[in-house]
Every structure is written in C-alpha cells, then in structure tokens.
Structure 1
Amino acid sequence: MTEVLQEFVDSRGVTLRVDRAAGVLRGVKLIGLESLNGRRYRPEALAAAVALYEGAKVNVNHPKEGPLAPRDYRDRLGVIRDVEFRAEEGLFGTLHFNPKHAVAEQLAWDAEHNPRNVGFSHNVLARLTRDGSQALVEAITHVQSVDLVADPAATRGLFEEQDKSAAEGAEPTTASAALTAESGLLVQEAMARGDRLEAELKNAIAREASLRQELALREAAEAGRPRSSEPWALAQRGARVETAQDFARAIRLRA
C-alpha cells in the first residue's frame, strides 16, 4: 500500500560541520531506521532511496496544504547533496543553504551549539506493510521535499499529533494527500502501460509486414514454376485423378 509519509528527525548526537560563508552544513541526519512514532524502515529501503534524496529540495517549515502541496519561493532554503546510507543509522547528507536566507544565521548557530534544533521533516511516498499496529516501510518511491522544522510533535507520521483531536482534524488532509498521491501513481502506471502497448502494436505491424512480404515471394516463385494441368501428368506425379473425364483424357494422352 502506498502512503504519504511525513517523518521528523533531528540531529541530536550528530556532529555537524557548518561553513557559514559557503552555506554548507555537513553531516545532517535525514531519516533513521525508526521514526518517532515507531514506524520502521527496512535498511534496504533506505539504501535504495539514496538517489531519491540526492538533490531533494529543502524548505522552511511544513507545507500549509499538505505534504505534496506546492511551496512558496521564499520558503526555499536549499538542497540536499552527498547523500549516504550508514548501516544501523540511516540516511545522512550535506545541506547546501542560501547564506542570505532569513533563517541562515539561526541555522548555523543551532548547528554549532544546539544540534537537536536542526530537525528535518521528509515528505515522501512509500510502500508499507502492517502487522497489527506496527508499520514497516518496504520502499520509498518518491521524495517530495525535506523541510527544516522546529517541532517534532507536529510531524509524528501521517499528520499524527500528540493531541488526539488535532490528529482527527488533520485526517481529511492526510486522506486527500494520500488519494492525490495514489492517483498520480496510477496515472504514471497507465502511461507506462500505454507505452508498452504502443511498442507491442508496432512489433505486430512489423511482423505482419514481414509475413506479407514472405507470402508475396512464395507466390511469385510458384508463378514462375512450370505447371501441368494434364491429368496423366498429374497422375504420373502421384496426384489424384478426380473425375471419369480426367481418367479418360489421361488414357488418350497415354495412347
């Protein structure tokens, strides 16, 4: 089952290396093997997602209309590069940020003095399996963005808030986002099937043309071959004489 996921991870316990002038923050944690709400990620799923996170857009704060909603230009902070998978830990990368952005100085200070404030929320499409209340992420299929956020309580999974009423209020938004994502995947699959059918049709047309050409060559060869319609000649070749008239004619020819 494909779902829209919004997970939070901070950089507590991680050594961050910041270059303020260049706008580079190395060693940021993007996602671990287990999220705050207990959702687990297969190591193979994260290792396979390295290329999807490479070049991921980084925005400030959560999207207002859901994890797949378009973002304002002023929200754009930077981009993730040099993504790597670390066994038993998760995905890490380098944040290249605009040093002139309004939050750039605050980000650099937190990275040096309070890394737990450097938190990221990733907005992705993923395939999940469930065993009771336990959810296991089998694969990440699309990375929409990686957002710089401050409050982990706001991103405990599929818009799951610590307050139950808040979670219930967010449910329609989550369902709508999931439906939109699922619809997008269905469109992509339909387009792929259409491409395959078009290729198969072209192959079938080519095969038909080849068979027609082969048949034409055979007919031309048959037309140029000496033929006899005489029953006796046919009989000599082992052909059947169908009528009495044919037989009589064959006898006369023989005499």
Structure 2
Amino acid sequence: MISLSTVTRNYSDEVSIGPVDLAIPKGGITALVGPNGAGKSTMLTMIGRLMGMDDGAIEIAGRDVATTKSKELARIVSILRQENSYVTRLTVRQLVGFGRFPYSQGRLTREDERIISQAIDFLELGALENRFLDELSGGQRQRAYVAMILAQDTDYVLLDEPLNNLDMQHSVLMMQHLKRAAVELDRTILIVLHDINFAAAYSEWIVAMKDGKVVEFGTPEDIMREETLSRVFNTPVEILPGPKGPMAYYF
C-alpha cells in the first residue's frame, strides 16, 4: 500500500499541494486525474522522492519514503517522469538495461540479462532491441522507457503521463501493456492520466485532484458520474455508455 499522511508542498501563499491523506491499495492500476495544475504530477514525484515535502509523511509498503536508503527504495518503487531526455546513440536494450542499475551497479549479470530480455519481450520490443532510440517512433520509444521501468523489477511503478504525445492507437496499446503488467507481473501501478476515459477503462481505482487536493477517491463506477466529473473538471460532463463501460463527454 502507498500511504500519504497530511502531505503538503507549499509553492507560495496562493499555490500549494495538500494536505493530502490517502491510502492507495496494493495491486492493479490507480489513476491520478484532474484538470491542469491540480497537482497530480507533483504528488507523484513526491511519492517517488524526486521532490521533497514541506510536511507530512509518505510510506510505500511500510517504508518511509523520506528516510529509506536510496538503494533500498529503488528496489521497491520505480518512477518514469513525463520529460525523458535520451541519448540518440543508445539502443533499446542498453536503455532497458539501466533499469537493473539498483542491483548490478552497471555490471550486468546473467540474471540481469534475463530480466532485461523479459521486459523487452513483455513490451513487444524484441525486433527493435538493437535499434537506436532516435530510430524509433514516439510510441516505440515510450514503450522502451516503460520496459526500463519494468526491468527495475519493483512492486510499485509510478508513471507520469505515459500517454503524452501518443496517438489513440499507441495509447490503447500502452494501457493494454500496463494492465497486463499489473495482472501478470503483480505490479502496483500509479499513473497520471490526462484522459478520464482511459482511467475508467483500465484502472481499479481513480484519485481525482483539484486545486492541489484530493477531492474524490474510488472505483471508476464511483467517479464516472456527471455531477462528480463536472465538479472536478469545472465543466459540464455527460456520461454515456461505451465499449468498456461509461464514457465522459465534455461540452
């Protein structure tokens, strides 16, 4: 479980995150949704200890994020940020290999190589593993980064808008891969999503944020209500039946 207790981050007198009290269950996909500036990415990066808190505490699997040693924490939780700079002369396999650094410290063992191959195959990148990153499409490159995160072999995976800049086809493919990872690899995935309909279709839990605070938390059935989404996104919403359940339409 990921537990947040009175977590606060202050930017100014007018802009702050929290206080947030939240318990995210182990297993499955939990989506962070909300309008721009709601604090979704900030909360994710605080959970992943890439950003400090001004107050409060965060625990992952019972370990205090602020005090756990970096090497130990890197074997519990992995995080992929939205902005990923890449070295053009790096192959897919080399990139995915970086996920093994907490274990190998750069000296890959036979077991590391096995896990790297497993992650590459899981994301269906086998035919591309020797290609350089600048030779890939945006969707292929994003899958390579997710494969790197899966190769880190952590129970908890944090992803900041992995669908950013992907077209509809590649977005669906990515969410299918993540759903498989949650089920088949028993990963707990916390993901920031821009599209509430992807959140509803693929997640077990949805955290809705607004103005730096958690305003709703529940199952997709709990959140996919017209009055709830209209309040969260500050715009009228209509819920209609869709192929994977209710879908939200904004107007």
TM-score range normalised by the length of the shorter chain: under 0.3
Q: So what's the TM-score if we normalise by structure 1? A: 0.22
Q: So what's the TM-score if we normalise by structure 2? A: 0.23
| Bigger fraction of residues in helix | 1
